[in-house]
Each structure stands twice: as C-alpha cells, then as structure tokens.
Structure 1
C-alpha cells in the first residue's frame, strides 16, 4: 500500500511540474487560440422602430480572413431585427499573431416586449480551410411606446380650430388665377388648332396648310413690337413653305430678292402675282429687320394680299397640272 501511495505521489508531482511550466512559458509553439466572436448592442433597451447599432467583434489569428454576414440576410439571419445598412470592416492589431476585426450594422426592431438577437455565424478562412464560429444569442428588451399608467387607448379629442393666416388666402387666390389662366390658354389653343392641314408635309396639301396658317392669323390683332414681328414672321413663313412644297423654290432659305429672281424664271407665274408677293415680303422685311410698326389695319390688308397671292399661285399650279394631264391623255 505504501509503495502504491509513493507512486501516485510521484505522478502528481510530475503533473504539477508540467502544469507550472505551461503557466510560466505559455502554450507550445505553433498552438493558436480558437477564434472568438461576440455580438454587442449599443443600447440595453430600445423602442419600437428605434434605430440602434449591432456590432460583431471577432478576435482571431492574424493569418485568417474573417467573413461577416451580409446586411441583406433578412429575418432568416437577423431574427427579430431588421438590418438597415452595414458599415465597413475595421481591423485592430493585438500582436503580430492576433488581430480584432469588427463590423457595425444599423438595425431596428418592431417586436413587442423583447427582441431576439440570434446567433450570427462568422466564417474564418485560412488557405483552403474555413471555420465557422457563432455569437451567443440574447434577448433585448423593447420598451413600450404607451406609458405604464395608460389604462386604455382614448378617443382623440377634436382638433381645435385656428383662423387661417392671410398668406393662405393669398396663395389660394394665386392658385385660382393660375388655373383660370391655364384653362383660358388651353381653350385658345384648342380653338386655333388646325393640325390636320398645317402639319401635313404632302405637297398636294400645301395650299390647305398655308391657308390654315393664314386663317389663324386673322384671329390675331398685333400691337406692340414683338407681337407685330411675330405676326409677320408667321405670315411669310406660310408663303415660303408653300413655295418650297408646291412650286419647288427653296424660299425658306432664300432672301426676298432671291425668291423674286426664282419666280421670274417661272414663265407660268403671272407678273402681277410676282409683284403682289414682292410687296408682301418687302413689308414683312421692314417689320422684321427695320423695326417698322404698321397699324393693325395695314397688317390686315397685307394678310389679305398674302391670301390673294396664295390663291393665284395655286390656280396657276392646278391649271398647269390639268394641262399636263390633257397632253398625256391625247398623246398616242
């Protein structure tokens, strides 16, 4: 018996000696502590819908890469929490062999009484090996929005009436005026709209398009420099577009003298028609380039002359077309 007791005493002394050496010199070379992960919350309790911060802290070997959960994991990953966004990963060196990585999530919760902070898996990669370590779950108290002394929800009281300030009535007046003005403008645009004729590029309908534009000018009573100039610009544009589409003269890009020269080379156009057209274009040039201000009665007379020129040119074109058809039908 004494021999057995002496043997156990020697084994115990050796164990204590090895344990003491480990405490003095630390673990054997090459041994690495296991990675450690914890979840930290920025508040001891939160309110429903209140934003707070959840931080995952991983302490691990320096040669391992840490992979934190994404911020779009949903309720499967975040449990009772809702992630709003994830911040950047921050790293802090503890020593040459150890470091701490952390990442912060901005979260909220709509749970009642308490919210469950679940286990968050964090992966550690080193070469081709990957280890997964989870955080410890916990319950986070959720403070009720209704105070403890509220026995029941009460019907809200009627809103007190306050007199409206003067600026409110002024704003309503401006809005009313704007609506009336917009309606009047829309009605005027509808009355003056003749898109079927004016926007048709077909040469066969050039006369109808030009006549429609001149009829719209009959409803205008130009007075003032800008209004008169706009009136004559529209008038001459109607004639020049007709000449380009129907007569074959590049009138929109030509001066009045060039248009007259081109018409004189057209023997089918009567000299009287050319003279009347020159008078209309020259009057318009005085308004557009010399700031002439003819009275409304004179502008109406010029508009009548423009319509007369348009009628004469169209009559000539139709006569020539009819003659061409007769010649084609009579030829063998």
Structure 2
C-alpha cells in the first residue's frame, strides 16, 4: 500500500516538474536580479510547447509577492519555430522597499489536442531591491561658500537691465515718431497750395463759362462726356468759390452730404446740384447717353443755380443811403 502511494506521488511530482511530458517547458524570468527602489523591472512567465498545444497562464493581480507591485500588464508575445512555439506573458513590476524577495513558482496549464492537460510549475526567481548609497562624509554640513564672481554675460545683462533698456528704447521710439509726424504735417501743409480768391465774383465767372460751354454745342456734336465734364467743373468751382464747399477734389456723394449737413442750399437748389452732378457722373463714368432733354435741363439748372444763389453786392452809395435812413 505504501509503495502504491509513493508511486502516485512520484507521478504527480514528475507531472509538475520544469520539463514535463510531451516536451512542454515553462519558466519565470526577470530582466535583472537587482534594482533600485522605484525602478521598473520586467517579470515574465513563458511556456515552450508544441504548436497544437494551448497555454493558460495564472491570472496575476496587482502584486506578485508582498511589496512587489505589478504596475503594467503587457500583451502576450508568441514566437513560432520548427513545430513549436514559445508563449510569453510579461509584466512591469516595481518595489518601494529595499530587501531580497523570492517570487515563488507559478502553475501554468498546457492542453494538448488529445484532450490531455499538464500543469507545470515555473522556477522561483529572486529580486534584490537596494537604496541609494549616501556618502555621509561627502554630504557633511559645511560652511556656505561665497558666490563665485564671474564676468557678466550678455544674457545676464539682458535679464538684469532688460526693463530699463526697453523703457529707453520705447521713449526714443516715441520721440522719433512724434518728430516724424510733425515734420510730415509741416511738409503736407507746405505742399498744399493756398487757395486764391478769384478777382471776379463767382457768379460772373460761372455765367461766363456756362455761356462759353453752351456756345461750343458739345452735346449736339455727340461729345457728351466732354460736355458734362466741363459742366460739372463749372458747378463745382462755383460751389467752392461761392460757399467754400470743397467740391473740386471730392465725390458727388461727399458734396451732397456736405451741402445737406451744413444746410447751404435750399431744397430746390440742392436737387438741381444733385441732378447736374449725378448726370455728369453717369455720362463720364458709366457710358450713359443722356437724352437731349436731359442735356437742356441740366444746363438750365446750372443757370438757375448761379442766378438764384449769386452773391448780392451792395454798392457804397447804397450803404450810405441805408445808414442815413
């Protein structure tokens, strides 16, 4: 009876040894046997089995043994070679306590195609965890050393005086900008020609130019653009000399807005000015051909505008008569 029990135990021991039936081999390994506290080490379980065998590794949780922690579960790695395969299951482990640790064997199950299964045990592995060596003599408390005096580098100079340098540059730039602006203003003022008042009243000049334009009969000769260009200039010059409206260098829209904002003309004359200038713009820039009635009407409007808004000149004798009355 004792001999039978001994035979059974011997069979079980042989079945769970490192090298088992049908050529399966299992192993536990570390990529290093010594580590510093907090370092990372790879621990792996592996099995070398026939290609048709299936391997079941034990589930490992967050610790291998006390004070050895699993911090990362890595994917399986399989290598095939000549009818066999090596299945490897790696983990990343660490420890925060110094000492020597034994990682005991793990059981790995191997199943074969003939429904036969072996349970194999890995070898134990050992890991030493060490701390940093502190040299007490080298780290003894000593007097504070005086600062080493070194030449001031350009970078240190910038760090030290950047604010002051920036402030000086800003003030100089501001002074230069103001100087440049005033010089530019002076040049612009010098470049602008002073307007000289004509020797004749504005309405006299305007009526004479209108007579000359009418005598040329430009629109009757199909010179529409030239006709309206001259008509527009006559009206603009009259507005500028008579009412000080900046009409020669501005657009029709600007002139209309200026006349309306400053209430320079009554409603009827305002409409006449708008009609003349807008018709001139269409003829000059939009290739519009006004009808003969349009040409006659705008000429009449120009005459009416000048006559109705001309400056009333009071003779000295009339002034004396008014004062005596």
Taking structure 1 as the reference length, the TM-score comes to 0.36
Compare relative contact order (CA 8 Å, sep 6+) and give the higher one, 1 or 2.
2
